[in-house]
Amino acid sequence: MTDSTAPGAAPAQEPDQSQEPDEETLALAHTLFDAARNGETEMLRSYLNAGAPATLTNAAGDSLLMLAAYYGHAETVQLILHHGADANRANDRGQTPLAGAVFKGYTDVARVLLDAGADPDAGAPSARAAAEMFARTDILALLA
pLDDT tens string 42-95:
999 999 999 999 999 999 999 999 999 999 999 999 999 999 999 999 999 999
Q: What is the pTM of this model?
A: 0.83
Q: Is the dihedral of CA 87, 92, 95, 101 positive or negative?
A: negative
Domain extents in the chain: 23-143
pLDDT > 70 in the chain, percent: 86
Query: According to the model, what pLDDT value does residue 22 have?
Result: 80
Q: Are the CB atoms for 108 and 74 separated by under 8 Å?
A: yes
CATH class of 23-143: mainly alpha
User: What is the separation, in whole angstroms, between the first and last Cα of the chain?
Assistant: 73
Alpha-carbon distance 120 to 14, whole Å?
44
Q: What is the pLDDT of residues 3-33, one digit of tens each?
A: 443 334 444 444 445 567 788 888 899 999 9
- Does 103 or 26 have the greater pLDDT score? 103
**Quick check: 64 and 40 in contact, CB under 8 A?**
no
Who wins on pLDDT, 120 or 1?
120
